[in-house]
Amino acid sequence: MRTTIDIDDELLKEVMEKSGAKSKKNAIVTAMKDYLRLKRREELKNLIGNFDEFNLDLKDLRKMRNER
């Protein structure tokens, strides 16, 4: 989908530098994916709260992620 948006040049330049993206499109896609990854982590954290209370370990969390 083609969309025209006005993005702050300095912000986009910094995202490109930090992400190592070679194009503006790649920088924006990377930033969007990172944002969604962060939000999904927050959602998971809110769903399970303090996972120590549920006796979940890294293996259990990976299994939950893969079942999604």
pTM for the model stands at 0.64
Question: What does the block give as tokens for 2?
Answer: 């083609």
Angle between helices 24-48 and 9-19 (to 10 degrees): 80
Evaluated on CA atoms 36, 42, 47, 53, the torsion sign reads positive
At 43, is the pLDDT very low, low, confident or very high (cuts 50, 70, 90)? confident
Q: What is the pLDDT of residues 5-33, one digit of tens each?
A: 999 999 999 999 999 999 999 999 999 99
For 3-59, give the DSSP string. Answer: ------HHHHHHHHHHHT-SSHHHHHHHHHHHHHHHHHHHHHHHHHSSGGGGT--HH
